[in-house]
Structure 1
Amino acid sequence: MDLLDSVKLKYPGARAWAFGDSPQMANELAELVVKGIKTASCGSLASFNADEDAPGPGSYHIILNGQGAPVCVIRMVSLRLVCFSEVTEAFARQEGEGDLSLAYWREEHKAFFTREGVYAEDMELVAEEFKVVEVV
């Protein structure tokens, strides 16, 4: 049994996934989560609605690095809708990326959602807050 299977046994029903859209981004963001710097994330409402296994409050998730190996388990503590243009400096800091500024958050997330083909200044996001329950 490999490490991922072992973690799945400990957290039945937990989904395993990686942050971002590249192995490098997955590694960087997973490291920020493990260090406790990244305690929030967001995705487009369209992607959330298209995902039949979308996270709910209280759900557990196995975070993978860019090589598909588990690095930690998180638990969703809140989900809320927010418009891209209304994301706050506080939420940008919780995302834990770059210099933690809202300007950095907007630039990087605009690029990410543009690559995803869904960017709009008025797009709705699902803002997720989580806590690390185990580093594996």
Structure 2
Amino acid sequence: MTSLLHTLQQRYPQALVWGFGDSPEMADELAALVIQGHKRASCGALVSYLKEPILPGSYNIILNGRDEPVCVIRTTVLRVVRYCDMTAELASLEGEGDRSLAWWQASHQAFFEREGTWAPDMELVFEEFTLVEVV
């Protein structure tokens, strides 16, 4: 454990520690969008969230692609939404690509297919968050 991560875990003792996406490149890209203020939301398959639930008010220490802490976020809103019911407004909050619903649908379908959870009517946990600290 790095000393920075240890310090953050002392400051945020209940915080989950994780990186976005499913590759080091994606972790770097999405963490950078959070730090820049473009990414204020994320989503995942409900079945994945049930393994390690996040609650509103939870702190999360975000790692880059080298498993180094880069920022801390705090969950503000959680909602369950089906993939097929995603709105352009919510997709835009994720801050990725051109922020359109079409881009969101294509990129997230590909992600969930790699994860093995994709279905047109799959349930997602949509998480809105605030950036607490950049480290």
TM-score, structure 1 normalization: 0.96
Give the Cα–Cα distance (whole angstroms) in 1 for the partners of residues 104 and 4 of structure 2.
33
**Structure-2 residue corresponding to 1:72:** 71
Structure 2, unaligned runs of 5 or more = none
How far has the Cα of 1:32 moved from its partner? 0.2
Residue 48 of structure 2 aligns with an amino acid whose one-letter code is S
Please show how residues 1-136 of structure 1 align to structure 2 within 5 Å: 2-51=3-52, 54-136=53-135
Tell me the C-alpha RMSD between the 2 structures.
0.8
Give the Cα–Cα distance (whole angstroms) in 2 for the partners of residues 18 and 37 of structure 1.
17
Structure 1 runs (4+) deviating above 4 angstroms are none
Residue 131 of structure 2 aligns with an amino acid whose one-letter code is V
How far has the Cα of 1:103 moved from its partner? 0.4
How far has the Cα of 1:30 moved from its partner? 0.2
Give the Cα–Cα distance (whole angstroms) in 2 for the partners of residues 70 and 102 of structure 1.
30
What count of residue pairs does the alignment treat as equivalent?
134
- SS of 1:37's partner is coil
Q: Deviations over 1:13-41 (max 9, x none)?
A: 11110000000000000000011100000
Give the Cα–Cα distance (whole angstroms) in 2 for the partners of residues 35 and 90 of structure 1.
19
Residue 6 of structure 1 aligns with an amino acid whose one-letter code is T
Residue 105 of structure 1 aligns with an amino acid whose one-letter code is W
Give the Cα–Cα distance (whole angstroms) in 1 for the partners of residues 70 and 126 of structure 2.
22
Give the Cα–Cα distance (whole angstroms) in 2 for the partners of residues 81 and 16 of structure 1.
22
Residue 87 of structure 2 aligns with an amino acid whose one-letter code is T
Structure 1, unaligned runs of 5 or more = none
